[in-house]
Amino acid sequence: MSLSILFFMSTAIYLVVMIVFAAIFAGGLYLAFGGPNQGRIDQTRRSFLSGKGGGDENVALFFGLQIVIQVFGSDELRSQLARRIEAEDNTDSVEEKRKFFKSIAAILTENQYAWEYGFWDYYSDTETAVSTFNQWRNEIESSMATEPEELGQEVDKLHRYSDQKEYLIVTLMMLIDNREETVEDDVGDVKFRPTFAQLAQPFVSMVNNIDEDEYWKSSTFEQLLNSIRSLDPRVIERDGIYVYPGTAQDGMSSLDLIGDEGWKYLTDHSLR
């Protein structure tokens, strides 16, 4: 066999081997960058809301508070709260959000003399927190006349016994981000920026330190509202505030409150 043929065969074999190695190398790159981990979202908003915290069970916290307030036949408090809530739709910045929550908490605290009943709940397990937030929201919105077609001049007879304005129920609920992840929009060097969990810690510590025999005291509700006023809005992933009944024409009487099985858990806890 001539040297030229041997050279040709050696060159061909070399090229084939190089092509194979190139294919393997290219495939390795694809597996590294395009395999099952590509685009996987861990410890972000998606995993936060799905209740999957990368193994951490308390990346989301639920807090909900309800207060039944005597309004003595007046619509002033409902209107005041409604104006604040409507204005909140245009709240974009952190400072605007902070002012909104401080305003709502301040209004409720100012009316502490008229508090009749109250209820609050707190969960630190992510899955329970997310499901509880959704449950509260769905149950409240389904029981309220919120759409234009549902609102009318007459009492909502489906949910009301009368239109006497005796009570107002205010519900405040939030889903709190408790991840050990650095807050991105904080000022200064990134290594000195706080995590969401650090920002939420004062509120979490306050709730955890409430004694069981203090749960349903008016002073505890005041303490909870004051803590909401100082909570950094950046940790509030979702929130909801509802005023019930929601129209000037409607009202809630003592018969509505006591006679409706749906409000029984509220009347179990007097704030007097």
**pTM flag (> 0.85):** no
In angstroms, the CA 174 to CA 122 distance is: 10
Which pLDDT value is given to residue 153?
A: 52
| pLDDT reading at 21 higher than 80 | no
For residue 233 the two structure tokens come to: 């809005």
Which pLDDT value is given to residue 88?
A: 76
Contact 179, 43 (CB under 8 A): yes
The residue-averaged pLDDT of 94-98 equals: 89
pLDDT digits (tens, 9 = 90+) for 182-230: 988 777 776 788 999 999 999 999 999 999 999 999 999 999 999 999 9
In angstroms, the CA 220 to CA 166 distance is: 24
Q: How many helices and strands, by DSSP H and E, does the chain display? A: 9, 4
Q: Which is higher by pLDDT, 190 or 181?
A: 181
Give the strands of the sheet with 167-177, arranged side by side.
Answer: 115-123, 60-70, 167-177, 236-244
Question: Which residue type is seen at 121?
Answer: D
Report, in angstroms and rounded to the nearest whole number, the Rg of the chain calculated over CA atoms. 29
- Helical axes 218-230 vs 94-110, angle rounded to 10°: 160
The residue-averaged pLDDT of 155-181 equals: 82
| pLDDT reading at 28 higher than 90 | no
In angstroms, the CA 188 to CA 240 distance is: 31
Give one DSSP letter per residue of 166-204, joined into a string.
-EEEEEEEEEEE--S-B-TT-SS-GGGPPBHHHHHHHHH
| pLDDT reading at 100 higher than 70 | yes
Contact 177, 198 (CB under 8 A): no
- Helical axes 76-88 vs 94-110, angle rounded to 10°: 170
| Spatial CA neighbour of 115 closest among 247, 264, 212, 225 | 225
**239 dihedral zone (left: phi>0; alpha: psi -120 to 50; beta):** beta
The 3-state DSSP class for residue 3 equals helix
Contact 186, 194 (CB under 8 A): yes
pLDDT digits (tens, 9 = 90+) for 38-90: 222 223 333 444 444 444 688 999 999 999 999 988 889 999 999 998 887 76
| pLDDT reading at 177 higher than 90 | yes
Which pLDDT value is given to residue 51?
A: 41
For residue 255 the two structure tokens come to: 């018969």
In angstroms, the CA 181 to CA 199 distance is: 11
The domain spans of the chain are 1-40, 57-267
Binning pLDDT at 50, 70 and 90, where does residue 246 land?
A: confident
Contact 170, 240 (CB under 8 A): no
